[in-house]
Amino acid sequence: AAGGGARRHFSRSKAKAKPPRILITGSLGQLGVPVAKFLRGHYGVENVIMSDIIKPTDDIASSGPYIFADILDFKGLQEIVVTHRIDWLIHFSALLSAIAEQNVPLAVRVNIEGMHNVIELAKQYKLRVFVPSTIGAFGPESPRAPTPNVTVQRPKTIYGVAKVHAELLGEYYFHRFGLDFRCLRFPGVISSDPPGGGTTDYAVAIFHEVLRGGRYECYLKPDTRLPMMYIEDCVRALWSYMTAPAERLRRRVYNVTAMSFTPEELAAALAPHVPAISVTYRPDSRQAIADNWPQILDDSEARADWGWRPEVPDVQSLVQRMVHDVRAAGL
């Protein structure tokens, strides 16, 4: 009987689902590196292919498969999916909110035309596809505190317009063609890796600058409240949503968040870690973007449907993690 049990156990584990083969576009951005690391830990290094149009550092190149992929080149993407037998596509290539305003034609190409390629590709090869959306997909007519999952969306940035387009296109392909499209609206994501060109970037930059020199000049007003999330929660949200059984999903686009704070509250939480901290404020064009975004994101549907819950739920615990991370990275 013992032998039979062992055999049963053996055949059950042999029958375990084979890991998905995953392609990450725009993988050298703020989210790509930690997401690749997490998924490689879970599914095996060889099964997670990082890609971008940028030459990787030695660290990235030696960490696992890395290839050139231009999301504006449809044929090139087809070749990658076929050659590497891709099952899941995680589409991170995008210009963020502030930088997109400085080059709208490029943002239209990367954020909108790139999305057209990705969604057609996913349909053609029956891929499960993840596309991040954002608090930037809301606008001045949306309720701001809290902002529900379904509400008015009239964003005033090209970044937001492209994200609403991506959300609607994905939902349409899901209903029309059965595409397994999954999309989360992320708040500002806080990690020791620098983001580039966003409106919420201050909440990363402040750690680097005050831990190095005690001072930071913030480009948002002290009382600008925005939703935020620690990187590990962001990665976990993505993964638990990607692996959630389809029957638990009542929709294909969900709000997720962890906390909301203002620059002034973040500076106060940092103060015990930095003797003689000095934070000054000089708002620039990013203030107008932030003023149209949610202050508090309502993620109750994600919590109810597929069990979303952040592990770093407040500014104090976030500061503890970040002070540790930034110091450990020696930045």
Would you name the residues annotated as active-site residues?
159
Q: How far apart are alpha carbons 210 and 269 in whole angstroms?
A: 12
| Closest distance of CB 5 from ligand AKB, Å | 51
Q: Does 260 interact with ligand AKB (rule: CB under 6 A)?
A: no
Q: Are strands 180-186 and 253-255 parallel, antiparallel or unpaired?
A: parallel
Structure tokens at 124: 């053609």
Which listed range, 10-18, 43-51, 175-183, 193-201, lies at the site for ligand AKB (CB under 6 A)? 193-201
Window 6 to 65, contacts with ligand AKB (CB under 6 A): none
Among 199, 224, 260, 292, binds ligand AKB (CB under 6 A): 199
Q: Does 188 interact with ligand AKB (rule: CB under 6 A)?
A: yes
| Closest distance of CB 255 from ligand AKB, Å | 12
| DSSP class of 272 | G
**Residue whose CB is less far from ligand AKB, 56 or 188:** 188
Which listed range, 66-74, 105-113, 194-202, 317-325, lies at the site for ligand AKB (CB under 6 A)? 194-202
DSSP-assigned states of every residue in 51-87: EESSPPPHHHHHHS-EEE--TT-HHHHHHHHHHTT--
**Residue whose CB is less far from ligand AKB, 34 or 198:** 198
**Residue whose CB is less far from ligand AKB, 114 or 188:** 188
DSSP bridge partners of 38: none
Q: Label residue 309 exposed, middle or buried (CB < 10 Å: 0-12, 13-18, 19+).
A: middle
**Residue whose CB is less far from ligand AKB, 47 or 257:** 257
Q: Which single residue brings its beta carbon nearest to ligand AKB?
A: 198
Q: How far apart are alpha carbons 314 and 295 in whole angstroms?
A: 15
Can you tell me whether residue 1 is helix, strand or coil?
coil
Among 198, 263, 294, 310, binds ligand AKB (CB under 6 A): 198
Structure tokens at 65: 């498969």
| DSSP class of 20 | P
**Residue whose CB is less far from ligand AKB, 174 or 293:** 293
Q: Are 254 and 241 in contact (CB under 8 A)?
A: yes
> Of all residues in the chain, what percent are helix, strand and coil, respectively (each to 5)?
50, 15, 35
**Residue whose CB is less far from ligand AKB, 86 or 96:** 96
Window 116 to 175, contacts with ligand AKB (CB under 6 A): 134-136
Which listed range, 11-19, 20-28, 37-45, 197-205, lies at the site for ligand AKB (CB under 6 A)? 197-205
Q: Are 135 and 184 in contact (CB under 8 A)?
A: no
In sign, the C-alpha dihedral spanning 234, 235, 236, 238 is: positive
Task: Please tell me the count of residues contacting ligand AKB according to CB under 6 A.
Answer: 10
**Which positions from 204 to 243 touch ligand AKB by CB under 6 A, shown as an x/- string?**
----------------------------------------
Window 93 to 112, contacts with ligand AKB (CB under 6 A): 96-97
232: closest CA among 195, 197, 258?
Answer: 258
Structure tokens at 127: 């891929």
| DSSP class of 190 | E
Summarize as ranges the residues that interact with ligand AKB (CB under 6 A): 96-97, 134-136, 188, 195, 198-200
